[in-house]
Amino acid sequence: MRVTFPHMGNLYIPVKAMLDHLGVEVVVPPPSSKKTLSLGAKYGPEFACLPMKLNLGNFIEARELGADTIIMAGGRGPCRFGYYAQIEHTILRDIGCDMQLIVFEPPERHFSELLVKIKQISGSRSWWQVIQAVRFGYQKARAVDEVEMAALKSRPREVTPGSTDTAQKEALHLIEAASSRSELTEAIKKAGAIMSEVKVEKNKPVVKIGVVGEIYTLLDPFSNQYLERRLGKLGAEVNRSIYLSEWVNDHIFMGLVKGMRSRKETCGAAFPYLRHFVGGHGQETIGSSVSYARSGYDGLIQVLPFTCMPEIVAESILPEMSADYGIPAMTLIVDEHTGEAGTLTRLEAFVDLLERKKETREALYS
Amino acid sequence: MNGYLGVDVGSVSTNIVFMDEGGVVFEAIYLRTLGQPIATVQKGLRELGGRLPAGTKIKGVGATGSGRNLIGVIIGADAVKNEITSHAVATSQVVPGVQTILEIGGQDSKIIILRNGVVSDFAMNTVCAAGTGSFLDQQAARLNISIEEFGEIALRAASPVRIAGRCAVFAESDMIHKQQMGCSLADILAGLCEALVRNYLNNVGKGKEILAPVVFQGGVAANVGMIRAFEKELGLPVKVPPYFNVMGAVGAALLSREAVARKGPSCFKGFRVSEMDFRTGSFECSGCSNLCEVIEIKEEGDTIARWGDRCGKWSSVVRREEKIS
């Protein structure tokens, strides 16, 4: 069995770590690229959203490298994602890429439901080993997130343009390469050192932007046209409403790890704008936006794949929330188009707006 | 005379203005880009150079529009800024106290909300270009009327027909249906204007508070039918400033004045730019499966800029004096 799974930003680092730990043979698909997208768009239904097309492309490319089994997340509720595993499997069969499919449905009550699934693919491994593997993967997810957070902080303040990107690449590489817990502890230390070595202008005034929206396009730089990097280069410090480890804790561990931002809290903040689940991360988008506004952020950017229903619901609520809190908000819809000029213009104008607004506000109070 | 140049390279038109140090526009040139931004800017500069009195000194140059980065390196711009900021800066200068700017250009349309002279909100059309100048152009061509007389004809409508404005494809099939039913051309054109205004307000102006003074600019503001349709829908007077079709360039010139005051002498290469040899080439990088199209710009044989690569491998090789934002 040679297992593959879809890309979503740096998700491959913890997933590969977990599967390696279990002794499962893993084929990581080549990083999502124009080729991945072309393949996905060619075989995927035209109406499906961008994440599905990229998943499909990832699987086709992984099969070329010898993968024969797919691990895919499931889901339920109004978002179409829950159905993608089955659809993708059928499409692959139709085009002659017959692959075995294993769907990780989100646990209903306890995360042990998922452990049972993981144990199935690991064959003869003991429960203890399964739990250790999940823990190892999770620790990598935390480490990856820490590197990303450090990059988001240093990028707008870096003295040499591009130095954050170089450091981030190097740090992630170290974390990826660690193959045992002791190696990982060492790698985390080194990665932290690399990130703090990026020369920054400490007192540079920067605007702070909260990025909210649909999880896939939020976590996957290829699909959001490298949004965070672009904003950083324009001089904005970015905070993302969902990080990988938080998502894992909320949806897989059912909130086992305490002391992190949690889904429950976020959704609570969405009251009174959106009181109930609308599928995907629609409610979280509104809740996170409110939280960002309350903690003094200068602006909000919502990212969503074209035709994403839950986020369309959130999009229509955002203007009211934005007016109530006096925080500018912008929506960025991503799809197959790769023309960067339009995105860049909007981002640049948005950062300009926030900067000018901040300047006037500060002039008033100083 | 001393002054500033503003260059706005859009998808459909390229505009160049020259303003004096006080911000008064002296010359404005409006050209069609015709898919050749560099040649068009060179042509424009040649024309402008001929029109300006001898001894004119250019103290600063600003570039804006979707071709701003390209033209910025070609002419040596001091300020390279997006269209939203440029438009807002220009309009605030021309119509002090403006609170709403409606702008419809060739490929995009935007709304800019200003409060107390500062941009407080803006939006641009997202995934569809229905309702922009290109669509009007295309429909005028289909009906065999010139775009210049479009508005005049629309004003003669007795009862504008209802046309779906949400999607250009739906709009066109509606128009054809009405035309085959025998509706008059004037009624159809006025109906189209109303449909585009509805679409613009729903799609771009979504939920924004539109307060007077309202300024309408961009190439489409030349169309009196559109002005009338906006006034009817908003119930507010809509002002079209002089130089409405070159406001982006006016803003770029104003921004260059700010930039030069901040950073010192201009990087403008002079009007000789129009006689220089610029070549652009592109190649597909085979470093990874992204296969980025890397664009290379050469001035008299020397590479002056590269872009298009996602990883920065090619663009970082060329040292640029000022990072283009």
Of all residues in chain B, the one with the smallest CA distance to A37 is B290
Q: Do B66 and A348 touch (CB under 8 A)?
A: no
> In chain B, what percentage of residues exceed pLDDT 90?
46
pLDDT of residue B312: 74
- The three-state secondary structure class of B80 is strand
User: Could you say which of A34, A319, A335 has the minimum Cβ distance to residue B290?
Assistant: A34
In the predicted model, what is the mean pLDDT of residues B148-158? 91
Banded pLDDT at B325 (limits 50, 70, 90): very low
Q: Which amino acid is at A325?
A: Y
- Max mean pLDDT among B112-126, B249-263, B273-287 falls in B249-263
Q: Do B291 and A35 touch (CB under 8 A)?
A: yes
Rounded to a whole number, what is the distance in Å from the CA of A304 to chain B's nearest CA?
12
pLDDT of residue B172: 86
Q: Do B291 and A357 touch (CB under 8 A)?
A: no
Q: Do A353 and B122 touch (CB under 8 A)?
A: yes
Cis status, amide bond into A272, omega within 30 of 0? yes
Please report the DSSP string for A106-151 in residue order.
Answer: PPSS-THHHHHHHHHHHTT--HHHHHHHHHHHHHHHHHHHHHHHHH
Rounded to a whole number, what is the distance in Å from the CA of A233 to chain B's nearest CA?
8
Q: Is the pLDDT of residue B118 over 90?
A: no
Residues of B with CB under 8 A from a CB of A: 66, 81-85, 108, 116, 118-124, 126-127, 206-208, 288-291, 310, 312, 316, 323, 325
For chain B, count helices (H), then strands (E): 9, 13
Number of Cα atoms under 13 Å in the Cβ half of residue A295: 12
Residues of B in contact with A333 (CB under 8 A): 126-127
Q: Is the pLDDT of residue B321 over 50?
A: no
User: Distance between CA B122 and CA B147 in Å, rounded?
Assistant: 28
Which CATH number applies to A2-125? 3.40.50
**Helix (H), strand (E) at residue B13:** strand B13-20
pLDDT of residue A251: 76
User: Could you say which of B82, B127, B323 has the minimum Cβ distance to residue A345?
Assistant: B82
Cis status, amide bond into B242, omega within 30 of 0? no
Considering Cα of B232, then B236, then B240, then B244, what sign does the dihedral take?
Answer: negative
Burial per residue of A67-103, b for 16 or more beta-carbon CB atoms within 10 angstroms, e otherwise: bbbbbbbebeeebbbbebbebbbebbeeeebebebbb
- C-beta separation of A245 from A142 below 8 A: yes
pLDDT of residue B320: 45
Separation in Å, CA B100 to CA A127, A320, B10, B252: 64, 19, 22, 19
Could you tell me which of A194, A184, A192, A189 has the C-alpha nearest to residue A140?
Answer: A184
Q: Kindly provide the ipTM of the predicted complex, given to two decimals.
A: 0.75
- C-beta separation of B187 from B174 below 8 A: no
- C-beta separation of B291 from A35 below 8 A: yes
Q: For chain A, how long is the longest CA-to-CA vector?
A: 68
pLDDT of residue B322: 42
Instruction: Give tens-digit pLDDT for B165-217.
Output: 777 788 888 888 998 999 999 999 999 999 889 888 888 888 788 998 999 99
Q: What is the mean pLDDT of chain B?
A: 88
Residues of B in contact with A319 (CB under 8 A): 206-208
Instruction: Give tens-digit pLDDT for B13-26.
Output: 899 999 999 889 99
- C-beta separation of B274 from B42 below 8 A: yes
Q: Do A342 and B289 touch (CB under 8 A)?
A: no
Number of Cα atoms under 13 Å in the Cβ half of residue A33: 19
Question: What are the per-10-residue average pLDDT scores of chain A (366 residues)?
Answer: 94 94 94 92 92 96 95 85 93 94 82 81 85 93 96 95 92 96 96 96 93 95 94 95 88 77 87 90 94 95 94 92 92 83 87 87 76
pLDDT of residue A344: 86
User: Distance between CA A65 and CA A30 in Å, rounded?
Assistant: 9
Could you tell me which of B31, B114, B96, B58 has the C-alpha nearest to residue B253?
Answer: B58
pLDDT of residue B88: 92
- Best A229, A302, A321, A352 residue to mutate vs chain B (most B CBs within 10 Å): A352
User: Distance between CA A233 and CA A209 in Å, rounded?
Assistant: 13
Work out the angle between the directed axes of helices A163-177 and A127-154 (0-180°, nearest 10). Answer: 170
Of all residues in chain A, the one with the smallest CA distance to B86 is A349
The fold for domain A206-366 equals Rossmann fold (3.40.50)
Of all residues in chain B, the one with the smallest CA distance to A235 is B325
User: Distance between CA B248 and CA B106 in Å, rounded?
Assistant: 13
- C-beta separation of B205 from B123 below 8 A: yes
| Domain A2-125 matches domain A206-366 at the CATH topology level | yes
Please tell me the total number of residues recorded for chain B in this structure.
Answer: 325
Banded pLDDT at B324 (limits 50, 70, 90): very low
Q: Any idea where the domains of chain A sit in the sequence? A: 2-125, 135-205, 206-366
User: Distance between CA B68 and CA A227 in Å, rounded?
Assistant: 20
